[in-house]
Amino acid sequence: MDLNKKIRVFVVDDSMVFRNFLIKSIGQSPRFEVIGHAINAFDAERQIPQLKPDVVTLDIEMPGMTGPDFLRKFLPKYPVPVILVSSLNLRVFDALEVGAVDFVRKPDVKDEITSKQFVSTLLPKLLIASNSRVRMPRGTVSSAPATTMEARQLQTPTPRTMEHFAGENKIVAIGASTGGTEAILDVVRNFPANMPGVVITQHMPAGFTAMYAERLNKILKMEVREAKNGDKVRQGLMLIAPGGYQMRLVKRGTEYFVSCTIEEKVNGHAPSVDVLFNSVAQNARDQAIGVILTGMGSDGAAGLLRMRKNGAFTIGQDKETCVVYGMPMEAYKIGAVCQQAPLLTIPSIIYRQLGLLTK
């Protein structure tokens, strides 16, 4: 990365007030240059190929064409990294599904404190996105033949379902950040209804974690919900760490529960993957499977290493399939990963560890 080269940003927002706020806020940083703006998706579709920005900020709800519809149409032709700037809106996950890298919640521009917090969150995400891998929308048709690895990834086996199996007392712990909402879905999509308890920390602000859990609950065979303090971790249930809280696995007798408490950020995050993984290492030990997925930084690496040292089987997503190869890379570098694998082969590895595959 050339630290002297400014990152070229293009802003898409139909609100003149918020658009001007974005342009001014981004432009004040010496790392960025706002090279243009659009008032709607059609305007953006015309300008972006000509201006060739490094990263785009995109509103969700715009007249004529929504953000998700724009991405679905535009990204296969012009794969530019996109950061969503949105109110608390379920359609954020539609946009992430079709290729956006990450999102930031819109502030009230009249509130100086929340506006400053917004800018301090947005700028690092723009920096990360400018160097990220753009994931094509699901269902995008490629003219190139699939590689051997791609073909193998697409042949993910379906696990068998049984009333009881050897791994029923296991715990599966997953951590992710940038690009993680869709990576997590790719891993857990075919988990059977009798899957051991799953605990997940995805870096995400308050409000969005509940919507993400609701979205997964509609798609998966398992029950999925945002965790509450004292929830029991049980077979068939997936718990998502709530935004703004630190979630830990705790053990009472032979049963597992979660604690969710408001605390300081760890590694810059609440929830933090390290907080979850450290608690899993302490309480589940060799009964745990740990998975670290795409994300910037090193959160989760130390916790995953502790899990491995305590007997857990640990998996890290490989570079080629990560949106951002940060957290899995740091975990791999320090020896925290038992097996590194492409995203779509991770489910098979988990199933085999649990004895859920017949072959």
Active site residues: 177, 203, 299
User: How many of the other CB atoms lie within 10 Å of CB of 127?
Assistant: 18
Q: In three state form, how does the secondary structure of the chain look? A: CCCCCCEEEEEECCCHHHHHHHHHHHHCCCCEEEEEEECCHHHHHHHHHHHCCCEEEECCCCCCCCHHHHHHHHCCCCCCCEEEEECCCCHHHHHHHCCCCEEEECCCCCCHHHHHHHHHHHHHHHHHHCCCCCCCCCCCCCCCCCCHHHHHHCCCCCCCCCCCCCCCCCEEEEEECCCHHHHHHHHHCCCCCCCCEEEEEECCCCCHHHHHHHHHHHHCCCEEEECCCCCEECCCEEEECCCCCEEEEEEECCEEEEEEECCCCECCECCCHHHHHHHHHHHCHHHEEEEECCECCCCCHHHHHHHHHCCCEEEEECHHHCCCECHHHHHHHCCCCCEEECHHHHHHHHHHHHCCCCC
* Rounded-to-integer distance, Cα 187 and Cα 322, Å: 13
Classify residue 217 by burial, with Cβ atoms within 10 Å: 0-12, 13-18, 19+: middle
Greatest alpha-carbon span in the chain: 63
